[in-house]
Structure 1
Amino acid sequence: MLIRRPVLDAIAAGSVDMAFRRWSHARVRAGTRLRTAVGLLEVVAVDVVEESDLTAEDARRSGHDSLDALRAANARRDGALFRVTLRPAGPDPRIALRESAVLSDDDRTALDARLARMDRTAPWTGAVLRLIADHPGVRAPDLAARLGRETAPFKRDVRKLKELGLTESLEVGYRLSPRGTAYLHMLM
């Protein structure tokens, strides 16, 4: 579920706690936690609503200036209208993970095992880590081209490394996190 940054900031500040989406079926469930630029958000409830039942309060609580703006934002898609109730659920746990630059022997063993599983069909993790280390802030298509890869699968692989706390996204491109740097130094 994509949420624009101003709305994310408003959710974090407590002034927004809803989103409305037109979907063919619910794409999130109550209890789901979403990782966002402002930390974790928890989906509290997901309900189908009738557009005619929307109120100015719904518009305000979803970050829209008016009821007309809320309706217009959802007019471009087909499907049922869902009200998704959200609340902040804490910081993104990957932030603390990637900031930990001291790796224990157990950390290294666990990372070695995870990366070995990722490399099972075709080794790529070491090359991607070294490439990002050598070229921080370089666009993903340019990095992918250096490895002779398509951009979309390359980005998927970088997200896998991000899940392990080894990389972080920049405004443009990526860089190794302190954890990723420490791990790469252990490999050398």
Structure 2
Amino acid sequence: MIDIRDAYRRALDGFGDRLHLVRRGQWELPTPCVDWDVRGLVNHVVAENLWAPELLSGRTVAEVGDAFEGDVLGDDPLKAFEASAQGAVQAVYAEGALTSVTHLSFGDVQGEEYITELFADVLIHTWDLARAIGGPERLDPALVASCSEWFEKAREDYREAGVFGDEQGLPADADQQTHLLAAWGRNP
């Protein structure tokens, strides 16, 4: 398995590559995440990036409060993403980030688990963004393999928590990316 910090950084790079392809008039397009259009999806990823330094430094959700509620993109979504991604990457590579106790809304987890969750979220949302804007949907195969390996162990916990939709049916010859996306409730 890839070092989770490297996987997260690479997933953010892939998301950023797709984000650069968003054209005027595409921000309101629907995404596979039924609650979000393109702008809402990007806003979610940026907000998650903004949370990472706070939570990996030991702050609690209550201490951070509503600092990242609402629109965190402002007038320049690309700039907001790039700044948030840079801060998140710095936070995951900080000394002790992997072993830190991260206080999430549902309980405490080790930093490595939190970073893995961030990685998976960004990877899946990279496909969501690409699908919405008609961009390249093929994800980095090494990242797909790493996410798939982790998700096999975490799938039931996520399903019980209602994090994603029902798993989609697959053709017999489906590749690993298709399996992963279907497991996350996507219909590739």
Same fold (TM over 0.5): no
Q: TM-score range by the shorter chain?
A: under 0.3
Task: Please report the TM-score for the alignment, with normalisation by the length of structure 1.
Answer: 0.23
Q: Comparing both structures, which one devotes a greater share of its residues to strand? A: 1
Larger Rg: 1
Instruction: Give the number of the structure with larger relative contact order, counting CA–CA contacts within 8 Å between residues 6 or more apart.
Output: 2
Q: Comparing both structures, which one devotes a greater share of its residues to helix? A: 2
